[in-house]
A and B are shown apart, each in its own frame.
Chain A
Amino acid sequence: MKSIVVAIACLLTVSIAARVQAQSCDGRTEQRVDQENYLALNDRVYVYVPDINSLGSSGGWQSFTVRVLSGIYRKPLLLARAYMKENDLQSLLSTRRDIRQTPITVLGFDPRKGGRPAINASATVKDGERAGTITVRVTRVVPVSKGVDHLFVVCSTGK
C-alpha cells in the first residue's frame, strides 16, 4: 500500500513538473525576469537580464543585451532563478565552455523623443542535446524609477 502511494505521488510530481514545463514555453505565457537575474526556461535553456539603465522617471531605457544561456547535456546554472551580477556570470561562464551564450539586443527607447518602443527581439537556440529548439522573445521592458527594472519574455518550442 505504501509503495502504491509513493508511486502515485511520484507520478503526480512528474505530471505537475511536465505541465509547468509545458506552460513556461507555450509561446504565450509571459515570464518576468528582473534585472541582474537569470531564469530557467527549461532544464537546458536559461535567460539572463543585465542591469537595465532606465532613463529616470521618463519611462525609457538605454539599449542592453539579454543573454540566452543553453547547456548541452546539463543545466547551465544550478538554480532555476537567482540574482547574479553580470561580471560574476561572465566569470563563471568563462570556465564553462559547454554553455553557449546567444545575445538578444534590446534597443533603447526614449519617450521624450516620441514613438513606440521597438522590442520584440528574439533568439532561437538548440534545446540542449535534444532535437528541438527554443525561441526566446523579449516582449516588454518595464523600467521602474524607484524599484527593480525588469522585462518579460515569452519562450516557445520548435523543431
Chain B
Amino acid sequence: MALSKAGERMARTGIFISHAHEDRDLAQSLAALLKAALELEAADITCTSDAEYGLERGADLRDQITTRLQSAKALFLLATPASHTRDWVQYECAIADAAHADGLQFYIVTPLGAHREIVPDPYVGRVSVTLSCAGDLHAFVKQLRKTFGVGTASSAYIDPMLELVDRAVPATVAHQRAALEKQAARGERRTKIAAAVAIACALFAAAGAWAMVWATGRERTYAAEIRQLNADHAKELEEKDKLRSEQLRQAELAADEAFKQFSFSGLFQDSRFKQVPCSKVEVFVPDAVTGGERQVLKPCDGRGTFIFSGPELQVDARIPIRLRAHLGRPQPFEFLVLRTAASLPFLFREGQ
C-alpha cells in the first residue's frame, strides 16, 4: 500500500509504462493493450510519450513520476536497446524496484528475445515477456488479468494485442538485422584484422627468413673467409718455417765452410825456446768422402816452420787433426791438435 500526502495508505490502481521516447509507438500500443485487457481508464495509465496517458504540462516531471509510481499497481518496463541506457528509465525502475515490497508489480516486456542486451543490469535476472511472440504475450495478458482481478470474459484486448505484436515484430526484425549487420561488420573487421595480422606475420616471417638466409650466408662467407685466412696463414707460416730452417742450414754450412778456411802454421822449439829444425810435417784429417783419414804432407821451410792453407786441409777447424812432425829423429813426433784451441808454438822437452 502506498502512502498519501497525508500519510494514509493509498490503494494502488494504475499502471506505469517506463520506456524511451524512441519507442513511443510501441509504448502506445502496449498502453492500448493494457487498457483493454485490464479494463482501465486512461487516467490509470501513465505513458509519458502519449498525450492521452501523459503527464500534466507545467508540473514538475520528477514529482509527477514519483507520484504516479506511488499510486501505480504495476510498472511495465519496455526494454529496448534505446531504453537500456536512458537515465529516466533507470530512475523509474529504481523507484519501482524499491516499492516492490509495497505492492508495486514490476514487469519487463521487450519486443526482442535478446534479453541480456536490453534489460538494465539490476533486472537481468527477472523473467521478461517477448512482445513479438503472440503466445507469450497472450499468456502474460491472461496472467495480468488474473492479477488485476479482471473477471469479465472479454476479448476486447485481442486486437490491441495483435497490433502490439505487429509493431513488435518489425522491431525484432530490425534489431536482428542490426545485430546481424553488427555481427557481420564485426566479422568483417575481424577478417580484416586477421588478414592484416596474417600479412604482417607473413611479412615478418619473410623478413625473418630473409634475415636468417642473409645472416647464414654472411656467416658462411665469414667462416669461409676465416678458413681461407687460417689456411693462408698456416701456409705462410709453413713457408716461413721452411725458409728459416733452410737459412739456418745454410748458416751452418757457411760456418762449416768458414771453419774449413782456417790456415794452420807453426814451428817447433825446445825448452829453451830454441827452434828445432823439421824436415816435413804430415797431417791426417778426417775424410768426409771415405770416412777414413786423408794425409796431407807439407815440407818445412828453411827456418823450420810449416804452414797449411785452409783449402789444403779441407777440414773443419773445430775437428781435431792428427799431426806427425819429422824433426830429424828416428821416430816422428805425433800428437792431436785442435786448431781452434791450439796454442802455438808447441813446447816439448828434449827426449819426448
Contacts and interface: CB of A to CB of B under 8 A. Distances in A.
Given A97-B291, A98-B286, A36 B256 contact: no
A77 B286 CA distance: 19
A74 B259 CA distance: 12
Contacts of A77: 252
Nearest to A82: B248
Interface in A43-83: 72-74, 77-79, 82-83
A88 B246 contact: yes
Nearest to A75: B318
Contacts of A79: 248
A148 B92 CA distance: 98
B321 to A, nearest CB: 11
A141 B338 CA distance: 39
Contacts of B94: none
Given A73-B318, A77-B252, A85 B241 contact: yes
A91 interface: yes
Contact of A95 (B241, B256, B318, B340): B256
A9 interface: no
Contacts of B249: 84, 88-89, 91-92
Contact of A88 (B245, B291, B338): B245
B252 A74 contact: no
B252 A83 contact: no
Given A73-B320, A73-B338, A98-B319, A88 B248 contact: yes
Nearest to A38: B248
Interface string B231-257: 000000000011011101101110110
Complex A-B, nearest 10 residue pairs according to Cβ-Cβ distance, in ascending order? A74-B318, A85-B245, A88-B249, A88-B245, A84-B245, A92-B249, A92-B252, A98-B319, A73-B320, A84-B248
Interface of A: 36, 72-74, 77-79, 82-85, 88-89, 91-92, 95-98
20 contacts: A36-B241, A36-B245, A73-B318, A73-B319, A73-B338, A74-B318, A74-B340, A78-B251, A78-B252, A78-B255, A83-B241, A83-B244, A83-B245, A84-B245, A88-B245, A88-B246, A91-B249, A95-B256, A96-B316, A98-B286
